[in-house]
Amino acid sequence: MKRSLWIGVVLALVVGFWMAGRSMAQEDEPVASLRFLVVRDYNGKPVKNASVVLHPVNKKGKQERGGLQLKTNAEGRTSFDGIPYGPLRVQVLVPGFQTFGEDYDISKPEMEITIKLKRPQEQYSVYVDHPEERKPEEKKDEQKPPEQKPQ
């Protein structure tokens, strides 16, 4: 019984020192204050209630788990303090606009990022209307002979 208690105490001390060292290391990492301005591309007017999503990115350029969502105010602005230096993926989502996404290198204590949202583009289909892809009821209509007008 004494041995398992001793092991538990030592393990708790090791974990405690590890966590304390980790939190001190994180405090030493530089952090930035980010300000965002979201405007319409075609006229420069602010976009309110835009969803600005911040995703951490690892050294290989892959998006990591987690993230932070901010909303713009009536002037199209939002901000956040305490973003660690390094790569950051920013996405902006607003109904009626194209989704915006870009990676930024956070390397200054204060940064302002202006995002210009575009209107949605027309969508084109690569599919061609083939008779064999039509629904059965559409095929029946196609097989009927055209009605003749009375003379």
* Structural tokens at position 97: 């606009």
pTM of the model: 0.63
Other Cβ atoms closer than 10 A to 47: 20
As a whole number of angstroms, the distance between CA 24 and CA 45 comes to 43
As a whole number of angstroms, the distance between CA 120 and CA 34 comes to 27
Q: Which CATH architecture has domain 27-117?
A: Sandwich (2.60)
- Determine contact, residues 113/79, Cβ cutoff 8 Å: no
The residue behind tokens 């939002």 is 78
For the chain, 151 residues long, give each residue's pLDDT as a single digit of tens. 566 655 655 555 544 544 444 443 456 789 999 999 999 999 999 999 999 999 988 888 888 888 899 999 999 999 999 999 999 999 999 999 999 999 999 999 999 999 999 998 877 777 666 556 555 665 555 555 666 666 6
End-to-end Cα spacing for the chain: 109
